[in-house]
Amino acid sequence: MEQLMRNFFLFLSKNKTLTKAAKNYGLRFGAARFVAGIDIEHAARKINNLNEEGFAVTVDHLGEFIDNEQEARESAAECIHAITVIGNKKLDSEVSLKMTSMGLDISRELVMENMRKILDTAREYNVTVTIDMEDHTRCGKTLEIFKELRKEYDNVGTVLQAYLYRTEEDLQDLSTYEPYLRIVKGAYKEPQEVAFPKKKDVDENYKKLIKQNLKNGHYTAIGTHDEDIIYYVKRLEQLEDISRDQFEFQMLYGIRLDLQQRLRMEGYKVRVYLPYGNDWYGYNMRRLAERPANVLFVLKGVVK
């Protein structure tokens, strides 16, 4: 049953008509639990509150399935605006963004042009930009773009997904770029030709990748709410004498606040991934898919 619900929400998350329609209806279907607001001004207040509680932030202007040049340019302009707000308000926040919102499905030239503008501004304000990872059909292209940008900028990072078979090789390949990497399990519905179908195998691969990246000496952001993985990282810290300066935990806004607070109290660096914007639909559906129990929460909100 859980798997059925998961597939259902992942199927819904890819619906372009619903994605477009949802933009006109404010934050609905429980999205306010996972999304900070519709603009950076709202998000900035939340970032400030989180910073005061001792959390670092990475802010994400939501946007998916962008298929025309003007929207991609607008999305890049919004990221630049967000960076200037972060810089001017001296907030402790990075920026996360998706290659499709920069025009990946239109042309590589457009993405590079948008990214160079964003990274130039980010460099000026000392802000790091992380390129999120989308579904497997875009993984190779995203990593190629990351590598090209990494040669020019030291304030750019990216994400690797433990559920993909290819990731172990990608990690090795990226090692020479001294990457700032966030490692996650992976949030998309992928065929078993490219991704481990079983959670157990994903988790094992996840641990292997974290260990490898830390032992390669690269900064590692561990993007998870899984207590077993977190325990593994804490054990590694002790057994392999890994410095706390070399890693951080990252968690999504609105998920496992208890765990976020506990880790912060234990002295770990915790960064909250804070999405904002009116394109909340796909993001919200993937969060519902991860934990069908969230649907109950949404239904309660609808009934109220």
Per-residue contact track with ligand FDA, 74 to 113, x per CB under 6 A? ----------------------------------------
**Options 22, 82, 159, 181; binder of ligand FDA; rule CB under 6 A:** 159
Helix/strand/coil for 97: strand
Of these, 37, 103, 223, 277, which contacts ligand FDA (CB under 6 A)?
A: 223
Handedness of CA 13, 20, 252, 301 (dihedral sign): negative
CA distances from 178 to 41, 62, 65, 66 (A): 34, 28, 30, 30
Token pair 């090692």 is found at 175
- For position 117 contacting ligand FDA by CB under 6 A, the verdict is no
Torsion angles phi and psi, residue 108, rounded to 5: -65, -35
For the CB of residue 188, give the shortest distance to ligand FDA in the complex, in Å: 6
Rounded Cα gap, residues 293 and 304, in angstroms = 17
Task: Give the one residue of 117, 256, 264, 269 binding ligand FDA; rule: CB under 6 A.
Answer: 256
C-beta closer to ligand FDA: residue 124 or 257: 257
Joined tokens for residue 161: 């997904």
Residue placing its CB nearer to ligand FDA in the complex, 84 or 92? 92
Q: How far apart are the first and last CA of the chain?
A: 26
Which phi-psi region, left, alpha or beta, contains residue 263 (left: φ > 0; alpha: ψ -120 to 50)? alpha
Q: Nearest distance from residue 204's CB to ligand FDA, in Å?
A: 13
List beta partners, residue 161.
184
Q: Say whether residue 218 binds ligand FDA (CB under 6 A).
A: no
Binding-site size for ligand FDA (CB under 6 A) equals 24
Active site residues: 132, 182
Spell out, one character per residue from 174 to 213, where the chain touches ligand FDA: x when CB under 6 A holds, - when not: --------x-xxxxx-------------------------
Give the residue from 58, 63, 52, 49 showing the smallest Cα distance to 20: 63
Q: Residue 273 interacts with ligand FDA (CB under 6 A)?
A: yes
User: Could you tell me which of 215, 155, 157, 205 has the C-alpha nearest to residue 185?
Assistant: 205
Q: Does 160 bind ligand FDA (CB under 6 A)?
A: no
166 binds ligand FDA (CB under 6 A): no
Residue 39 DSSP class: S
Binding residues for ligand FDA, rule: CB under 6 A, are: 132-133, 159, 161, 182, 184-188, 223-226, 250-252, 255-256, 273, 287, 290-291, 294
